[in-house]
Chains A and B, each alone.
Chain A
Amino acid sequence: DVQMTQSPSSVSASVGDRVTITCRASQDISAWISWYQQKPGEAPKLLISASTTLQSDFPLRFSGRGSGTDFSLTINDLQPEDVATYYCQQVAFFPQTFGGGTKIDMK
């Protein structure tokens, strides 16, 4: 299975901060990575597909980049509503695998 190593596992940040989450794949997955946002008690929501394509439900302060094995999700100008856990998922190979998650909370 492709291992997705996500870091950090948690981050505490202030309103307006820039937060970057990284995900490293154990093998080349091209740009086949998705990112999800999950709030407590809710299903995950697709945030970014194919490494860089932002879903229409989300503001432009979210962005994704990367290809091959190294990927990142950046949140600019962090807002209180961004408090959530974020997961990466590789969709290049079966089984599709998720990273361990990054929990963002507010200082």
Chain B
Amino acid sequence: EVQLVQSGSQMKKPGESLKISCKASGYNFDKYWIGWVRQEAGKGPQWMGFVYPEDSDTRVNPSFRGQVTISVDKSLTTAYLQWSSLKASDTAMYFCAKWAGVGSYSLGMDVWGQGTTVTVSS
């Protein structure tokens, strides 16, 4: 079974760092784009970016460039989303997702993690 399992919810203070994870299983991890989607409460999804594990080619939404780091560890078949200095505006649900189609990012996201809630508050 193809599955993405995300790390647990986090409560942090502004200025703190955070790294959340997404463990993939059941498919050839190296060959499918995997990335992150942000969703604030009551709002639509927002594509943050993704990475191709085979060569670590990474694309990041300019809205998030410099704010987050997207990475993978192929040996652990795990993707990561990292912040060095959180802001209150980072409060949201974060989903990891696998893109459909070998080597493709044009067929949508066919497998999703369960979501990680990040709350940033002083």
Interface residues of chain A, those whose CB is within 8 Å of chain B, are 32, 34, 36, 38, 43-46, 48-50, 53, 55, 87, 89, 91-92, 94-101
The answer for the CA separation of A92 and B65 in the assembled complex, in Å, is: 20
Cβ–Cβ < 8 Å partners of B112 in chain A = 43-45
Could you mark each residue 80-93 of chain B with 1 if its beta carbon is under 8 Å from any beta carbon of chain A, else 0?
Answer: 00000000000000
Cβ–Cβ < 8 Å partners of A89 in chain B = 45, 47, 108
Q: Which residue of A lies closest to B50 (CB)?
A: A96
Cβ–Cβ < 8 Å partners of A100 in chain B = 44
B13 on the interface (CB 8 Å rule)?
Answer: no
Cβ–Cβ < 8 Å partners of A87 in chain B = 44-45
Cβ–Cβ < 8 Å partners of B100 in chain A = 46, 49
B61 on the interface (CB 8 Å rule)?
Answer: yes
Cβ–Cβ < 8 Å partners of B95 in chain A = 43-44
Query: Quick check: B107 and A94 within 8 Å, CB to CB?
Result: no
- Interface size bracket, B side: 20 to 34
Query: Quick check: B114 and A43 within 8 Å, CB to CB?
Result: yes
- Knowing that A44-B112, A50-B106 touch, tell me 6 more A-B residue pairs with CB under 8 angstroms: A34-B107, A36-B109, A53-B107, A89-B47, A89-B108, A96-B47
If A44-B112, A94-B59 touch, whether A50 touches B47 (CB-CB below 8 Å) is no
The answer for the CA separation of A19 and B37 in the assembled complex, in Å, is: 27
B110 on the interface (CB 8 Å rule)?
Answer: yes
B46 on the interface (CB 8 Å rule)?
Answer: yes
The answer for the CA separation of A91 and B99 in the assembled complex, in Å, is: 11
Cβ–Cβ < 8 Å partners of B47 in chain A = 89, 95-98
The answer for the CA separation of A96 and B59 in the assembled complex, in Å, is: 10
Query: Quick check: A44 and B107 within 8 Å, CB to CB?
Result: no
